[in-house]
Structure formats: C-alpha cells, structure tokens
Amino acid sequence: MENHDILCVKGITKSFPGVLALEDVDFSLKKGEIHALLGENGAGKSTLIKVITGVETPDSGTIEFDGRRIEVKSPQHAQQIGISTVYQEVNLCTNISVAENIMLGHEPKKWYGAINWKKMNQLADEALRRLGIEIDVSRPLGNYSVAIQQMAAIARSLEFLSAKVLILDEPTSSLDERETNQLFEVMHRLKSQGIGIIFITHFLDQVYQVADRVSVLRNGRMVGTYDLATLPRVQLVARMLGRSLNDLDEMSREKLKREQAEEETCVLEARGIGRAGAIEGVDMELHKGEVVGIAGLLGSGRTELARLLFGIDSPDTGALTINGKKIEHFNPLQSINLGVGLCPEDRKEEGIVGDLTIRENIVLALQARYGWWKFLEPEKQYEIAQKYIDLLGIVTPSPDQLVKNLSGGNQQKVILARWLATNSQVLILDEPTRGIDVGAKAEIQRMVLDLAEEGKSIVFISSELEEVLRCSHRVMVLRDRKKVAEYPGDVDDQTIMHTMAGIV
Amino acid sequence: MNNKKPVLKQIRESRLFWPLVALALILLFDAIFAPSFFKIGILDGHLYGNLIDVLNDGAPLMLVAIGMTLVIATGGVDLSVGAVIAISAAMGAVLINPALGKELITNEVLTANKTNTPLGIIVLANLAAGTLCGLWNGMLVSRARIQPMVATLILMVAGRGIAQLITNGQIMTIYYTPYFWFGNGFILGLPVSVYIVALVFLIAWLLVRKTSIGLFIEAVGINPKSTYYSGISEKNVKLIAYTFCGFCGAIAGLILSSYLHSADANNIGLWYELDAILAVVIGGTLMAGGRFSLLASVIGAIVIWTFTLTMYTVGVPANALLAAKAVLVLVVIFLYSDQVRRLVTKISERKGAQHGPTH
C-alpha cells in the first residue's frame, strides 16, 4: 500500500469575532489510515473539519489534496473533490427508502425516463453489501437504527462521490456497542481500500480500538500527532487536558469523603410512578445533599423517568411528592416553583434557546418563575448572568454572546446556571456530560459533587457507568423500562453491569 | 464595555440598518425623479404633502405591522388581519348608524350627522370586536394546536362574511363627523393617526421591553421546547401575541373606516395581511420566529407606503402598482439574502478595515 498523504493541511488559522478558533494548525492524513481527531470542546475540531470541507474559509494556510494544492469553496465542492463527511446527526431523509437515499440524484432510469426501481434497489443493495450490511433497502430509512442510517450515508458518499477522504464526526455517540462494532468493521474495510478516514470521537476506548494515529487539538492549536501503538492512554489524556492527572485522582478521593454527607430529609419521593409505554412503576427517594445515579442502557427508561420527575409528562400511576407537596398537575412550571430543575438529554433541542444570549438563557427560568409582570431589569440580568459565568467558569467574551456559538460544555454550564439562578434544590441531570470533552466532563462532575455538598439533591443520569459510580451516593439501575435494583455508591462496576445487562 | 467593533460594522449589524437603506433608496429615487415628493406645505394650520400622507395613509399598516411582528416572532403568522379590519370597521359603522334601533328609517335619518351611540362606546365596541378576533385566532393556535397559517386562514375567509352579517350586506357610509377625527383630524399640525400609532407603539414597546413578554415571545419563536421546559407557558405567550395582533387590527379598522367615511366589508383592509407580513420581513424579523424589532417593522411599513406614494407621484397607474410592488419585494428579498449580504460584507471589509472577519 502506498503511504503518502492524501490530505495535508498546513498553517491553518481561523478566527471568529472574539475567538481565535484555529492557530497555525498542521494536519495530515495518509491513504488507508484511520486518524482520530481529539480535543476538548471548543478546541477547534469542528472548525478544522469545517475548513477542510469548505464550510468556513480559513484566514490563512493551505490545503493539499492528493499532492495538489486546492481551495475548497463549499461543502458540495469538497464532495466533488472526494472529501465526504458523515455527521453525528445523519442528514438523510428518513421518510423515503434506504435505496432512494443512497441513490438520490443518481437514480437509474428506464428508457422512457421513469425510475428503474428494481435496478435502483439492486444497486443500493450491492453498495451496502460491500460494507457488509444486508437489509431490505426498499423500506424507509427511518425504520432502521441510526447506525444503519450512517452506513447508508457512508455508502452514498462512497458510491457516487467516490470519496477518498471520509470524515466521521462523532459517529458513535448514539450507537450501542454492537452497532459501534459494525461501524468499525466498515471502517476497517474502507481502510483496506485505501480510503483515509478522519474519526472524531469523545470515547478514548474507541480511539485505541480502531485508530492508527491520533491528533490532539487544544485551544485552537495542534498539540501533536502520535502513533497510538506507542502512546499510553494516560499520556493521551494528559495531552488533551494539557495538565497533569492529579485533578482526576483528587475526585475519586472525594468519593470517600461524601459518605458522611447523607442526611435524612427526603426532598423527592416517588411511589410507583409510571407511564404506559414509557416506564413502569418506580419507587425512589432523594435526600437532601444526595446524588442518586441512574444507570441503564439506552432505552431502559432513563430519560422517561426524568421527564416524569420534572413534570413534562404526567404519570398514569403512582404519586410524586416534592418537598412534602404532592404533585397534582404535572407541568414544568409547577416543578420549577417547587425547586426542581432539569438539564435535558438533548441539549440543543430541549435545553438551550440558541439565538438568545447567555444572559437571557440564564435568566429564562427565573423570569418564568417571576411571571409576566415582574420583569428583571437588564442591569439585574447582567448581574445574575455575570455571577454564574464567573461561578461556573463559562468561557465567553461577554454575557451577550449567543448561546449557540458556545461549545457543548459551556452550553451545559449555561443550563446549569439557569437552574442555580432559580435556586433549585433538586437538579435532574440527564446525560449532563454527553458530547463534552474530558476536561469539561471532569469539571461538571466536580460541580455535581460540590452542589451536593452545598445541600442540593441531584438525580444523575448517564450512560457512562464510570461517571455514575464516581458521582453518586446511591445508584438505581433501570432495565427494560423498569427499576431493577438499587445499590449504595461504593458498589463495584461489575455488579452494576451485570444488573444492567440482566445477568444477575 | 469592550465594544471594539468598528462603528461601520455596528451600524451594519443594527436591525434598523437594512430597512433604513431601503427607505433611503426610495427617497433618493424621489430626490432625483420627483423632487416635489418632499414638498411640505401648511394648510389651515396643518402640514400637508406626500411625506405627511405617507404617515397618515401608512398608519393602519404600521399598526397592523406592530401586531404582526409579535405573531411572527412566536413563529406564527396571522393571515386574518385584513378581515379583522373589516369586522371592526363594520362594528363601528353599524353602531354609528343613526337608524340603529329605529323603526322608521328615512333617508334623512340615515344620512344625518348624528348617532345614538356615544362615541366612546363605538370605539370600545370597535376595539373589542378586533381583540376578540385575535383571541379566537390565539385559541385556535395555542389551545387547539392548529397551524397558524391554517388557523388564521379560517378567519381570513370567514371574517369578511362576518363583517357582511354585521352590516347586513350593506356598504355602510358614515355621516357622523366626530368619527372622522381618527383618520382625518390633526393635532399640532400632524395627523391624529400618527399619534395613535405612537401610542400603540408605546404600549407594545412597554409590553415587550418592560415586562418579560418580549423575552418569552423570542424564546418561544426560537425554541418552543426549551422554553416550555424552562417553565414558560408557550400557549399563553402565543395567545397574547395573537390577541394583541387582533387589537392592532381593530385600531387599523377604526382609522381606515374613519378615513374612508365608510365600511365596505369586501374591500376595507384588503390584502393588509400580506403588506403587514412584507413590512415585518423588511424589518428583518425572520418568518421562522425569534428576534424581532418593532421599530424596524414600522419602518418597513413606512417603506411600503413611501414606495406606493412615490409610484403614484411619478405617474405609475394604479393598476400597474401591484407589478411595481413586486419589484420592491424582489429587491427586498435580494437585500436580505445571505449570499448578497455576504458579498456586501466582503466588499465593505476589503475596502474598510483591518478588523476581524465576520461569519
């Protein structure tokens, strides 16, 4: 196999108002290589990808593709050259068939111009088979899992765009383990065909599992490119964080400290709370200053439980008591008034209001609590916003920055600030660290423990078991939309994993 | 504050920039081709001239544009404002009618300069009718969860029928002179309608900037789900926006019927909804909802009327006006397209400054 660079990026600099997103970044991708791109949120990964795919024009720097210098004008142009991107959220149409999605714009025609469906399905089927996928391509894409949808997107870019460089932007964040492995198989297959793959992810395990080399970005600069075979994991994390690992160690020590923090004031009590099709009757208690972790696989009813506790959905059965008050009418405002806050799983769709400023996002729930007429004057709003920007360390040039321009970790902090501003005593955090880099993750976990110490009660939901165990005083395990077990916080991860998987 | 942005750029990013550019372009056209457009005279102590006409004739549209801005900002649209104008005008005209409640109706009674209903009641009934229409729209959209375009289409179609029912199918001519004050009167040399617009604008401004309603409206327009999860009743926010829009339509109906001395259920306020939407778009509020500027929408309405009267002044016949208006729409759409804007940004930045790029 030839071993020359298919893509070579040199000296890229890109700035946005108030932010230097990339500074003199070099990056190269070999033919037939899986190259992981790592970095904290806001490190510049997405900007680098946007520059490579022509979404953004760099201020300076050059891009060489297959030995020739190119200027990528637009994403379409990038595709024509042979640089394809598959995004985390697949941008295909879920309501038309898999075959149509793959062949869109290249449908085989009969002699009189009508689409030759048989041929089309056959071609699509072959394209997927080459990736090792066998499915009925005539069914709507939406019938299949996100993994399959991603495969269809990959098949499309390989078949018609003859991609030589494939960029996978956090492809595994919504896949389960089996699907992830399926994707990795496909990646290996493509690699052996000489395609260069840029693989962006937050999961270090996966980097070591599948990638050849790794490049680490930090604060808009390229820290370096390393061979994974010779780079110990600890080193990699240290490079990403740009600091020693003492911070992380310290946190596990904190875990020992928290045992005495438990008090017996029950702030939230659910008795057999359930909703048809969502979750079966759950009993739970949450005490003052306590973190209750909820572990469970995707689809185990984690989010559904959170929605019931916050009053977005009303339960069919059971009762919920918050701060001694039995809830009759379930709606978010009621919960907020009782001192409950929810950081939803889907930060972008359910958490932030993207086109509003940080200030407005922070005061939103407080303002809702105050009602229509008791308006917080702008000065007061700035004061509150600034307080939490400082307290939570939100990185921004000003409180007037639009929230959609922040990195995921900072957005999460803004939502957290929203609830702290309303003085919520119960925080329900649904995947608070999803899509957030290692550094911000540690920061948010620390915040959770600090808040609990201050007497807040927290429901901590996460698909990362390690994180649940690190932060929780007690752990509830959900499986198949049922609560199956409850453990003290010092339970070992093996036990929990067995419970989650149903092998007790 | 650390406002390091170059002044030029700040101006360009202001919400009022593009509407004002549009207005300036039209006035520039007038300055070259119809200088008489700028002539302002004094007659009987009142100012008169084309510029005053823009304000007086444009007043109903400005009112409707204010209401429409709030509705569009929630991510909706109100197609019924034209019909609401007709309903509220009909309501006023019927109550004014001196024959109301009389057994014996003669032409003398009918055309007399008098009414049996106090003016205050007439105005109140007029406003109540429109506000009620807005409330109806709001209920359909927020409670019945019908899509705004469909929900308000119902009243758009039915509204003129309702207005005809109110007037019993007649074109009501108004002879009661005190009523004419709203559309034709003057205070300190300026048309009364201008003061009414200023008052409604002030009410709307206080509503959105001195209570939390403005923030809630923008939040709902941008992301209704996140907004609901933050404890804001998305339903009530929408209800208020539509109701207020109906209220604005009612005042527009009052002014229009007063100005025209009549209430013709089929023609009064015809196509106002579309002009109002255009005004809001010129004002830079996205049809998808979110950020809005009331002042920019009012300027948008002024742009439309300046354009209309300019066309009359240079002698474009009334039946060709719609075609000319289409050109305006086209230009506006060009000015607002991202592509064109990026080009303008690029050019001005290449010329101007060494400052950082925009995105």
User: Which CATH number does the domain housing residue B147 bear?
Assistant: 1.10.3470
Nearest CB partner across the interface for A353, out of B1, B213, B227: B227
The span from the CA of A464 to the CA of A206, in Å, is 14
Residue B60 domain-assigned (yes or no): yes
Residue B358 domain-assigned (yes or no): no
At A288, is the secondary structure helix, strand, or coil?
coil
Q: Is the model's pTM score more than 0.80? A: no
pLDDT score of A243: 54
Chain A: closest CA distance from residue B194 (Å) = 28
The angle formed by the CA atoms of residues A442, A447 and A448, to the nearest 5 degrees, is: 100
The span from the CA of A452 to the CA of A456, in Å, is 5
User: pLDDT at residue B353 above 80?
Assistant: no
B9-13: average pLDDT: 72
CA of B227: which chain A residue's CA is closest?
A: A353
At A381, is the secondary structure helix, strand, or coil?
helix
At B67, is the secondary structure helix, strand, or coil?
helix
Interchain contact B359–A (C-beta under 8 A) = yes
Chain B positions in Cβ-Cβ contact with residue A336 (cut-off 8 Å):
230-231
Poorest-pLDDT segment among A4-13, A444-453, B109-118, B190-199: B109-118
Residue B263 · residue B90 · CB < 8 Å: yes
Per DSSP, which regions of A121-251 are E strands? 165-169, 196-200, 213-218, 221-227
Residue A157 · residue A187 · CB < 8 Å: no
Residue B122 · residue B174 · CB < 8 Å: no
| Chain A contacts to B (CB-CB under 8 A) | 15-17, 56, 59, 310, 312, 332-333, 335-337, 342, 344, 349-356, 360, 363-365, 367-376, 397-398, 418
> End-to-end distance of chain B based on CA atoms, in angstroms?
22
The span from the CA of A178 to the CA of A202, in Å, is 18
Residue B173 domain-assigned (yes or no): yes
User: pLDDT at residue A256 above 70?
Assistant: no
> End-to-end distance of chain A based on CA atoms, in angstroms?
48
**Which residues, 6 or more positions from B287, have their beta carbon under 8 angstroms from its beta carbon?**
B72, B77, B277, B281
The span from the CA of A332 to the CA of A198, in Å, is 41
Token pair 């907020």: residue: A336
Tokens, residue B300: 């948008």
Interchain contact B1–A (C-beta under 8 A) = yes
Nearest of A221, A165, A197 to residue A11 by alpha carbon: A221
Tokens, residue B193: 């309608």
B20-35: average pLDDT: 91
pLDDT interval class at A504 (50, 70, 90): low
At B175, is the secondary structure helix, strand, or coil?
coil
Chain B: closest CA distance from residue A417 (Å) = 12
Chain B positions in Cβ-Cβ contact with residue A337 (cut-off 8 Å):
231
Nearest CB partner across the interface for B226, out of A15, A333, A352: A352
The span from the CA of B339 to the CA of A213, in Å, is 39
Overall fold of domain A5-245? Rossmann fold (3.40.50)
A273 by Cβ neighbours in 10 Å (0-12 / 13-18 / 19+) ranks as buried
The total of structural domains in chain B comes to 1
Chain A: closest CA distance from residue B228 (Å) = 7
Residue B316 domain-assigned (yes or no): no
User: pLDDT at residue B3 above 50?
Assistant: no
Chain B: closest CA distance from residue A17 (Å) = 7
Chain A positions in Cβ-Cβ contact with residue B5 (cut-off 8 Å):
17
Interchain contact B227–A (C-beta under 8 A) = yes
Dihedral of the alpha carbons of B217, B218, B222, B224, in degrees to the nearest 10: -30
Chain B positions in Cβ-Cβ contact with residue A342 (cut-off 8 Å):
229
The span from the CA of A240 to the CA of A243, in Å, is 8
Interchain contact B2–A (C-beta under 8 A) = yes
pLDDT score of B110: 75
pLDDT score of B149: 95
Cross-chain residue pair A372–B225, CB shorter than 8 Å:
no
Tokens, residue A340: 């409950």
Ramachandran assignment for A133, one of left (phi > 0), alpha (psi -120 to 50 degrees), beta (any other): beta
At A41, is the secondary structure helix, strand, or coil?
coil
Cross-chain residue pair B230–A312, CB shorter than 8 Å:
no
Chain B positions in Cβ-Cβ contact with residue A56 (cut-off 8 Å):
359
Nearest of B88, B159, B169 to residue B125 by alpha carbon: B88
Cross-chain residue pair B232–A364, CB shorter than 8 Å:
yes
Measuring CA to CA, how many Å separate B334 from each of A77, B12, B13, B22, B341?
A: 24, 16, 17, 11, 9
Ramachandran assignment for A501, one of left (phi > 0), alpha (psi -120 to 50 degrees), beta (any other): alpha
pLDDT score of A186: 87
Chain A positions in Cβ-Cβ contact with residue B210 (cut-off 8 Å):
375
Cross-chain residue pair B230–A364, CB shorter than 8 Å:
yes
User: pLDDT at residue A51 above 70?
Assistant: yes
Nearest CB partner across the interface for B228, out of A332, A354, A373: A332
Nearest CB partner across the interface for B231, out of A355, A356, A368: A368
Residue B303 domain-assigned (yes or no): yes
- CATH annotation of A246-339+455-504: 3.40.50.300
Measuring CA to CA, how many Å separate B9 from each of A15, A233, A357, B284, B332?
A: 17, 47, 20, 17, 20
Tokens, residue A215: 């490049």
Residue A25 · residue A12 · CB < 8 Å: yes
Nearest CB partner across the interface for B233, out of A59, A333, A375: A333
Beta-carbon neighbour count of residue B31 at 10 Å? 12
The interface predicted TM-score of the complex, written ipTM, equals 0.86
The span from the CA of B60 to the CA of B66, in Å, is 10
> What is the dihedral sign for C-alpha A304, A309, A314, A317?
positive
B339 by Cβ neighbours in 10 Å (0-12 / 13-18 / 19+) ranks as exposed
pLDDT in tens, A99-141: 888 888 778 888 888 888 898 899 889 888 888 888 898 898 8
Token pair 């020693």: residue: A244
CA of A397: which chain B residue's CA is closest?
A: B2
Q: What share of chain B is helix, strand, coil (3-state, %, to 5)?
A: 70, 5, 25
Q: Which residue has the higher pLDDT, A436 or A31?
A: A31
Task: Count helices and strands (H / E) in chain B.
Answer: 16, 6
The span from the CA of A27 to the CA of A35, in Å, is 10
The DSSP H or E segment spanning A419 is: helix A408-421
In chain A, list all ranges with CATH 3.40.50.300: 5-245, 246-339+455-504
CA of B3: which chain A residue's CA is closest?
A: A398
User: pLDDT at residue A2 above 90?
Assistant: no
Measuring CA to CA, how many Å separate B278 from each of B29, B50, B301?
A: 21, 22, 8
Task: Show the domain range for B130.
Answer: 7-311
Chain A positions in Cβ-Cβ contact with residue B241 (cut-off 8 Å):
none
At B5, is the secondary structure helix, strand, or coil?
coil
Average pLDDT over chain A, rounded to an integer: 85
B264-292: average pLDDT: 92
Tally the C-alpha atoms within 13 A of residue A188's C-alpha that lie toward its C-beta. 9
Nearest CB partner across the interface for B215, out of A336, A337, A367: A367
Chain A: closest CA distance from residue B71 (Å) = 17
Residue A255 · residue A472 · CB < 8 Å: no
The span from the CA of A230 to the CA of A169, in Å, is 25
Residue to mutate among A336, A353, A381, with most B CBs inside 10 A, is: A353
Cross-chain residue pair A351–B219, CB shorter than 8 Å:
no
CA of A405: which chain B residue's CA is closest?
A: B359
User: pLDDT at residue B355 above 70?
Assistant: no
pLDDT score of A338: 94
Cross-chain residue pair B225–A398, CB shorter than 8 Å:
no
Interchain contact B292–A (C-beta under 8 A) = no
pLDDT score of B131: 97
B199-223: average pLDDT: 95
Poorest-pLDDT segment among A291-295, A372-376, A435-439, B97-101: A435-439
Token pair 């946190």: residue: A251
pLDDT score of B97: 86
Dihedral of the alpha carbons of B155, B157, B160, B164, in degrees to the nearest 10: -110
Chain B positions in Cβ-Cβ contact with residue A375 (cut-off 8 Å):
210-212
Average pLDDT over chain B, rounded to an integer: 89
The span from the CA of B304 to the CA of B61, in Å, is 9
The span from the CA of B112 to the CA of B132, in Å, is 30
The span from the CA of B141 to the CA of B139, in Å, is 5
pLDDT score of A361: 96
